[in-house]
């Protein structure tokens, strides 16, 4: 049975292990159906453009002291990451290197449990032929010793840290500990024999973003965001 969220009647709560024929993390408690719809759409748009897609998940935290969290940080993070990929594309073209096209798509949720500040869970969808691993995780000393590394030497883990550091206005090395890499990137190939199994596993993994618990409504702050397209409806406050 589906019910309306008591704090936001735009949202529908479900608690079934299967949604539209796909497995979801119902053990997390109630899931928000509107979020599941958006997750499904973003995933399908990504696979329609990049038949080999890689999904990177990160958790982003604010400094405990010396920084007042603001809701614009997540937009600045996405914009910085897009700018880095655009710069990488331009550099590769200038160097006459082969460049695979790469449209960045994303899903993010804002949550707060027992901590004093909220945090973000983010899933980034990229062309697997262009980006398919985090690369080497570096220490703060490695960043400072090498002057932060030239952009051409940055791997995806570096880029995520750089994007969050840019969003917060802090140094790259200071973002270590504030960016958590949630497991290995999940890569899926539309042409693979195990595609449907992989798709189900990936959607189950992403359905975590739709859980209602830890999302506190009534503050007129957004709790869910995703990349947009003409196929996606819009609402003011999710």
Residue 28, pLDDT above cutoff 50: yes
Distance CA 39, CA 202 (A): 11
Q: Which residue has the higher pLDDT, 145 or 139?
A: 139
Alpha carbon 95 to chain centroid distance? 30
**Average of per-residue pLDDT across 179-204:** 96
**Average of per-residue pLDDT across 108-137:** 90
Residue 190, pLDDT above cutoff 50: yes
Q: How would DSSP label each residue in 68-99?
A: ---TTHHHHHHHHHHHHHHHHHHHHHHTT---
pLDDT of residue 112: 76
Residue 116, pLDDT above cutoff 70: no
Q: Which of 26-35, 64-73, 215-224 has the highest mean pLDDT?
A: 26-35
Residue 9, pLDDT above cutoff 80: no
User: In whole numbers, what is the pLDDT of the chain averaged over residues?
Assistant: 87
Band (105; pLDDT cuts 50, 70, 90): very high
pLDDT digits (tens, 9 = 90+) for 208-223: 999 987 665 555 668 8
Residue 205, pLDDT above cutoff 80: yes
Distance CA 43, CA 55 (A): 9
Band (114; pLDDT cuts 50, 70, 90): low
Residue 3, pLDDT above cutoff 90: no
Helix, strand, or coil here: 30? Answer: coil
Assess contact for 43 and 22: CB atoms under 8 A: no
**Average of per-residue pLDDT across 169-185:** 92
pTM: 0.89
Residue 141, pLDDT above cutoff 90: no
Residue 146, pLDDT above cutoff 70: no
Starting from the edge strand earliest in sequence, which strands make up the sheet with 31-32, in order?
Answer: 3-4, 12-14, 31-32
pLDDT of residue 234: 40
**Average of per-residue pLDDT across 93-114:** 89
Token pair of 216, please? 């506190």
Q: Find the helix or strand (DSSP H, E) in which 221 lies.
A: none
Task: Return the percentage of the chain with pLDDT > 90, whole number.
Answer: 63
């Amino acid at each position: 049975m589906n019910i309306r969220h008591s704090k936001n009647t735009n949202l529908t709560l479900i608690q079934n292990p299967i949604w539209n024929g796909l497995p979801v993390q119902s053990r997390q408690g109630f899931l928000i159906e509107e979020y599941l719809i958006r997750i499904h759409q973003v995933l399908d748009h990504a696979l329609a453009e990049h038949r080999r897609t890689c999904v990177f998940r990160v958790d982003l935290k604010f400094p405990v002291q010396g920084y007042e969290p603001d809701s614009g940080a997540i937009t600045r993070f996405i914009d910085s990451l897009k700018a880095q990929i655009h710069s990488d594309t331009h550099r590769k073209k200038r160097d006459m290197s082969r460049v695979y096209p790469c449209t960045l798509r994303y899903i993010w949720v804002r949550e707060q449990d027992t901590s004093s500040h909220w945090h973000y869970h983010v899933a980034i969808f990229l062309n697997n032929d262009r980006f398919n691993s985090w690369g080497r995780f570096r220490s703060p000393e490695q960043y400072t010793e090498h002057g932060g590394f030239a952009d051409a030497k940055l791997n995806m883990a570096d880029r995520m840290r750089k994007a969050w550091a840019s969003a917060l206005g802090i140094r790259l090395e200071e973002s270590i500990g504030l960016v958590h890499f949630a497991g290995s990137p999940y890569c899926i190939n539309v042409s693979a024999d195990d595609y449907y199994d992989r798709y189900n596993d990936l959607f189950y993994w992403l359905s975590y973003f739709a859980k209602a618990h830890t999302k506190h409504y009534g503050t007129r702050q957004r709790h869910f965001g995703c990349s947009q397209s003409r196929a996606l409806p819009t609402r003011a406050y999710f």
